[in-house]
Chains A and B, each alone.
Chain A
């Protein structure tokens, strides 16, 4: 979980919603799947951070969930993007591209 680049923590934090949108966009997922998907990346995070974020994204109307029975244990919440969530993802992608381009040009 520890990331050596603590100086970039704010940057990662700001992009976590973007990363989460991308994970959920692929298929409807359970919170633990999201964590597992992010675990091997720079965006590795924990329930304590992800759950409040998912709740906020749901309040913002970006995602939605449905209960699904699991083989073992209690039913789980499976998250998927709403239309607004998809729109936000596309918008964020475009913005991200623009930032990258800008950064490249500034240095050139």
Chain B
């Protein structure tokens, strides 16, 4: 007597002896490992499952409805181990094309005049950095200085290439259409995920606040005094602000690489201020 397990192969149910089930699990796990990185892995696995199912059905005959371990072993022997080379070759090719990974936009401090924003853009679009810089200067003049804000945003939010790999990726081979679609999908999935997370966080935060408010009210009643009812006081806010300023100042003082960003930001704020004043005055 053997224990029997019901399994589904490519959507069809089969009954197999438990030892056979274990063999199948191992085979499919190996197949998955061999196909790791292959974009069609799931589809191939499904085809393999369907083929195993057909082999089992052929072996069981009309009067048996359970596949023995020996029958499973035979079927798997016929299938042969999954050849990883087809997918691996492709994955390696994709890697080779893009150097150390997909191309992406970096600021390039090693080639920088100010923060390396223009150098990064030039590398990304395969242009001469001087051309990009001239375009930026022209844009700045045309927008009456407003373009500098764009530069500042880029300087702050675009990551800086720190390692040689990152610098290589800054000018990596262009994407293929497939990669663009894959990345867009990935980005959208992440966005959806983070959106859901944010919603959950907001809900929890709301609930927490309500509970806190209730607790305060209760403590009011119980102890007869008001405790921290109106949120932080002006003084407390001032202290928080001071802490933030102190941290920013410390970053400026101890991490010299960031100074370019501060200077650029300072200049931009001055520019923006002057631009605003000019508008208001008129």
Chain A interface residues (CB < 8 Å from chain B): 1, 31-32, 45-49, 51-53, 55-56, 58-59, 73-74, 77
Question: Least Cβ distance of A68 to chain B in Å?
Answer: 13
- Contact: A52 with B82, CB < 8 Å? yes
B121 adjacent to chain A (CB < 8 Å) = no
Q: Which of B66-90 contact A (CB under 8 A)?
A: 78-87, 89-90
Contacts of B34 in A (CB 8 A): 52
Contacts of B211 in A (CB 8 A): none
A-B pairs with the 4 shortest C-beta distances? A46-B80, A48-B80, A52-B86, A56-B86
Contacts of A73 in B (CB 8 A): 12, 53-54, 57
Contacts of A59 in B (CB 8 A): 39-40, 90
- Contact: B87 with A46, CB < 8 Å? no
Question: Least Cβ distance of B95 to chain A in Å?
Answer: 16
- Contact: B83 with A48, CB < 8 Å? yes
Contacts of B82 in A (CB 8 A): 48-49, 51-52
B31 adjacent to chain A (CB < 8 Å) = yes
Chain B interface residues (CB < 8 Å from chain A): 10-12, 31, 34-35, 38-40, 43-44, 47-48, 50-51, 53-54, 57, 78-87, 89-90
Question: Least Cβ distance of A6 to chain B in Å?
Answer: 15
- A18-B11 Cα distance, complex, nearest whole Å: 32
Contacts A51-B47, A73-B54, A77-B47; A46 near B79 (Cβ below 8 A) = yes
Chain A binding site: helix, strand, loop or mixed by DSSP?
helix
- Contact: A51 with B48, CB < 8 Å? yes
- Contact: B86 with A47, CB < 8 Å? no
Which residue of the partner chain A has the closest CB to B35?
A52
- Contact: B43 with A55, CB < 8 Å? yes
Contacts of A55 in B (CB 8 A): 38, 40, 43-44, 86-87
Question: Least Cβ distance of A30 to chain B in Å?
Answer: 10
- Contact: A52 with B44, CB < 8 Å? yes
Cβ-defined partner of A48 (8 Å) among B12, B48, B50, B54: B48
- A40-B205 Cα distance, complex, nearest whole Å: 69
Contacts A47-B80, A48-B82; A56 near B50 (Cβ below 8 A) = no
Of listed B31, B47, B79, residue having the most chain A CB within 10 A: B47
Question: Least Cβ distance of A43 to chain B in Å?
Answer: 13
- A74-B13 Cα distance, complex, nearest whole Å: 11
Question: Least Cβ distance of B224 to chain A in Å?
Answer: 75
Question: Least Cβ distance of A16 to chain B in Å?
Answer: 10
- Contact: A48 with B38, CB < 8 Å? no
Question: Least Cβ distance of B190 to chain A in Å?
Answer: 25
Question: Least Cβ distance of B99 to chain A in Å?
Answer: 22
Which residue of the partner chain A has the closest CB to B83?
A49
